[in-house]
A and B are shown apart, each in its own frame.
Chain A
Amino acid sequence: MKQNLFLMISIIATIGIVIFDPTRGFKIIEYFLSSIIETGPILVLMFVFLGFFQVWMQSNKAQEVIENNKGIKGILYAYLLGSMICGPIYPGFSLSKMLLEKGTSISIIIILLSVWATTKIALLPLEIKLLGLNFTIVRWSVTLVAIYLLSIICEAIIKRLTTYRIKKNIKRRMIS
């Protein structure tokens, strides 16, 4: 619904520009058509491919695997499964909550969420097509390392803040 509204607004804006500023308007249409011709086929193929991926790799499968693997193995599985899951990150939040309650460490959750969002194996050919092979290789290697650092830093901060909050609550209760 929201996407349709966005599309509608941009179409109306384009029609307006074509009427009032024809030179720029036709330039817009030209840009638009050339980008559709260039990326349209790969996008259609990718949509079908994502369907296969979703059937093959459901997020409850990921939950089962990560739940049963702690330590380094858990981290590796978080990387692997996170980059294989398709679709938006929203269901990832409730999945993370379930995993945290089952005792998975915070760093693994951070890795899972971050990898889920940015590095996707199913989108790899598309990324190479749009941004170039060189860009893709560098982005993947830098991002994967950065996410590991991110998970360690976040875990340290979150643990400290949570214990601080618990201590403060205890103090408050003792005073009152």
Chain B
Amino acid sequence: MVELVYLTLLLIFTGYFYFNDRKKLTDVGIYSKKITVSLTPYVLAIMLTASIVNAYISKDSIALVLGENNGILSPIVAALFGSFFEGPTVIAFVLGASLLLNGASTAAVGAFISSFSMVGLVAISLEKKELGSIFTITRFIMTLTMAVVIGCIMGVVI
């Protein structure tokens, strides 16, 4: 179903560019190719790793750490886990979906998606160079806190 949304939008965009600005279509092709080449291995690797984890770690043990019963601890653990890595938002969704399927609570997945996509230990040095350490560290700590808050509210609402 959702695929149809993308498909219709793609057809509309292609038609628009084809009749108005045919040169731009080659640019689109180049960008799409670049995105596909850079993201596909990442997505496949994440899916494969998730499958391995799936086969070895039971639903119960994921639920034990990130499940509903763990209360406020589950979004905190998930946010900290997410803050180590910094990845494309696509990956955050793929990982979040597989966590959700395997017994993690909504609060944990909400916190994980926020912290994974917004901050990352890897990106800190780059951000520091551009925006200074006060800015970077404040943003890191406050975003992490906010990720836990977002997760908690989502857990309560859903």
Residues of A within 8 A of B (CB): 3-4, 6-7, 9-11, 13-14, 17, 24-25, 27-29, 31-32, 35-36, 39, 41-52, 54-55, 87-90, 93-94, 96-97, 100, 106, 110, 113-114, 117-118, 120, 123, 125-131, 134-135, 138-139, 142-143, 146-147, 149-150, 153-154, 157-158, 161-162, 165
Contact = CB atoms under 8 A, between A and B. Distances in A.
A38 B124 CA distance: 35
A169 B89 CA distance: 40
A126 B48 contact: no
Contacts of A138: 154, 157-158
A147 B114 CA distance: 10
A114 B142 contact: no
B126 A93 contact: yes
Q: How large is the interface on B (under 10, 10 to 19, 20 to 34, 35 or more residues)?
A: 35 or more
A10 B53 CA distance: 11
Nearest to A94: B130
B74 interface: no
Interface string B74-85: 000000000000
A156 to B, nearest CB: 10
B157 A142 contact: yes
A1 B94 CA distance: 21
Interface in B64-95: 86, 88-90, 93-94
A146 B150 contact: yes
A80 B94 CA distance: 24
Contact of B131 (A44, A97, A146, A147): A97
